[in-house]
A and B are shown apart, each in its own frame.
Chain A
Amino acid sequence: MSSGNLDILTRGILKNNPTFKLILGLCPTLAVTTSLTNSFTMGIATSFVLVLSSIIVSMIKGFVPGKIRIPSYIVVISTLVTVVDMALAASVPDVHERLGIYVPLIVVNCIILGRAEAFASKEKVYRSALDGIGMGVGFILSICLIGIIRELFGTGSIVFFNQIIIDTGITNMPVVMILGPGAFLTLGLLLALFNYLNNKNGESGING
């Protein structure tokens, strides 16, 4: 199944969106989308690791025996995450502090291992990089969408890195939206919407 480079780059955004079509990496999707800022920083950090791990996994695919590929990929991913963590702590301590436990959590994001296993381990380096970028952008857009909905309905305003973007002035918003149940409700409704739109266009639904 060979596809064009442009298709590899763009399919992560809609056709194979990691959150709404592949249903991968739901742990951070549910846990950190309490605000747009958190979603965005998590998305950027995850995408950075995703692109690099796709490139490295693709580079070492000839060297790694099939039986130990999963442990090898985990070592690659956790090394990258630890390097990112230390580099952030030493260079931009304020951003590092804001990200907190999200950075180590990137290791267990199954989008990264999923793309390593399903794509990068079989494809050329530049195609794997394109796939990583596309999936990363798809992930950022998805969790930012969830973050916007939860923050808007949970707090009545959207604050992006201390800049007020939207302020409805309503103070008695349902706090449940930024609690755990709000994450499930938002994700469930968005999944339903995405599937409805897909069915209307005659495409297949969830293929995760």
Chain B
Amino acid sequence: MKKTNHMDGVGVNSKDIIITGVKLMFIVMVSVSILSYVNSITEERIANIEKERFERGLREVVPLAYDFEKIDENVFVAYSKGGSIRGKIYFVESKGYNGVIEMLVGINSGGRIIKVSVVKHMETPGLGSNVDDEDFLKQFEGKSIEQIGLAKKGSGDIDAISGATTSSNAVINGVRSAIEMWGDDR
């Protein structure tokens, strides 16, 4: 016969197991109630903040736009106050060093970049996280597809962020795919 030893948990009886299980379930239920309560009071605000941020982002890549129209999943047309088309905005994703980089690319009627903004990324803090840096993104402005590539590889005019070639390349690939989509749409 094996001796019951409560110290290291062997030979416990079934009543113990049930009490333990019920207690654990209780703790988890309290946790779930707290989380669903907090979620119910924050959900709407978080959704609003994200929507606001997204529209602010659209305005960022086509400055002076007055109104936006969604014409396709991830494609928006930006109108001026007089109703003429100022440009098209593409929401694209590109694989970065750490997960996906989401960005908005504003393209004018000539197929050149108006502006690029990085909406969301999970790149390494201090290095790849500089993909949303103004100085890096400014380089894309006014460029056509042939100019968008890494300068040090001779494939374009874009200087990579130091220490973050992969992240820089991810942005370049995303911008190129946006221009390609623009070409297909015409």
Q: Identify the A interface with B (CB < 8 A).
A: 31-32, 34-35, 38, 60, 63-65, 67-68, 71-72, 75-76, 78-79, 82-83, 86-87, 89-90, 93, 100-101, 154, 175, 178-179
Contacts A/B (CB < 8 Å), 15 sampled: A65-B20, A65-B23, A75-B27, A75-B28, A79-B35, A82-B35, A86-B38, A86-B42, A86-B46, A89-B49, A90-B45, A90-B46, A93-B49, A175-B163, A179-B127
Given A75-B31, A83-B35, A86-B42: A68 in contact with B126 (beta carbons within 8 A):
no
Q: Identify the B interface with A (CB < 8 A).
A: 9, 12, 16, 19-20, 23-24, 27-28, 31, 34-35, 38-39, 41-42, 45-46, 49, 53, 122, 125-127, 162-163
Instruction: State whether B27 touches A64 (Cβ < 8 A).
Output: yes
User: Which residues in B have their C-beta under 8 angstroms from that of A83?
Assistant: 34-35, 38
Q: Which of A63, A79, A87, A154 contacts B23 (CB 8 A)?
A: A63
Instruction: State whether A76 touches B31 (Cβ < 8 A).
Output: yes
A138 to chain B, nearest CB (A): 23
Q: How far does the alpha carbon of A38 sit from the alpha carbon of B38 in the complex, in Å?
A: 26
Q: How far does the alpha carbon of A83 sit from the alpha carbon of B38 in the complex, in Å?
A: 7
Given A35-B126, A67-B20, A87-B42: A93 in contact with B27 (beta carbons within 8 A):
no
Instruction: State whether A101 touches B122 (Cβ < 8 A).
Output: yes
A181 to chain B, nearest CB (A): 12
For chain A, what secondary structure do more than half of its interface residues adopt (helix, strand, loop), or is it mixed?
helix
Q: Which of B16, B46, B125 contacts A32 (CB 8 A)?
A: B125
A150 to chain B, nearest CB (A): 8
Q: Which of A31, A64, A71, A93 contacts B53 (CB 8 A)?
A: A93
Residue of B with least CB distance to A180: B124
Instruction: State whether A89 touches B46 (Cβ < 8 A).
Output: yes
